[in-house]
Amino acid sequence: MTEVSYFEGTSSYYADDIIDNKIEETDLSLTAEENFKRKFNKFKEFFSRKNILKFEIMIGEEAISIENTQGNIVISTIHKTQIEKRIETFSEKEKSKIGYIHISTIQILIKSTFMKGIDSPLEIALEDSRILDKRQATIAQVKCNLKYGKIKFDINLQMGLSLKDKDLDRSTVSHYKLENSNFMKKDNHPFTICYKLIML
């Protein structure tokens, strides 16, 4: 077998080989595994490649000021610099093979900072703002009320992301809008947004 090219990088891997033996010169036998080990060793190496699996949890919390409750601000739940710092803790061999991350689930918890029972409708949406079409960019949308004190929901994403993406930080962002724009005085914070991200 002649190897034309074999490449394993941070975002892809491939192999290109030419079998240069005449078929009749190769002893084809379902029981003689050694023949195939010798002749197709590179193919076996390629197809037995193992992915790097790391179970990671990222957590964040942000207090939202009343000035930023009208849909004018977004919160990123994925931070490229944070991911890069985690990858730095891996071995050199592992680092050279990691080009993608897999986002499994995002859990979002919204906590009010005032007494329960005060009517305060809130709309929150999780979006992939890399996508240009606003409708298609929406991953999940929830209408809730802060009068209950806490609101929690899980979003099952199962989404793969390339670490080479320029806008990786914009792949899952939270938009939020409080219905009552006159709810609190300036420089106060009606709620906090907490998120937990499960990543493989």
Distances from the Cα of 86 to the Cαs of 58, 100, 195, 196, 199, in angstroms? 10, 13, 18, 16, 12
pLDDT at 55 (0 to 100): 64
Query: Which 8-state DSSP code applies to residue 65?
Result: P
pLDDT at 37 (0 to 100): 52
- Which residue is associated with the tokens 């899952």? 172
In the chain, where are the structural domains located?
A: 2-47, 56-199
pLDDT at 200 (0 to 100): 65
Kind and range of the H or E run holding 39: helix 33-39
Whether pLDDT at 111 is above 90: yes
Query: For residue range 51-91, what is the model confidence (pLDDT) as tens digits?
Result: 655 667 888 888 999 999 988 778 888 888 888 888 888 88
83 vs 200 pLDDT, higher one: 83
95 phi and psi angles, rounded to 5 deg? -60, -35
Exposure b/e, 46-58, CB count within 10 A at least 16 = b: beeeeebeeeeeb
pTM above threshold 0.75: no
Q: In what order do the strands lie in the sheet with 150-162?
A: 56-64, 191-199, 100-112, 150-162
Structure tokens given for 184: 């609190």
Cα 133 vs. chain centroid, distance in angstroms?
A: 20
pLDDT at 143 (0 to 100): 93
Mean pLDDT of the chain: 77
Residues paired with residue 171 on neighbouring β-strands, in sequence order: none
- Lowest-confidence segment of 4-8, 41-45, 130-134, 183-187 by average pLDDT: 4-8
Say which CATH class 56-199 falls into: mainly beta
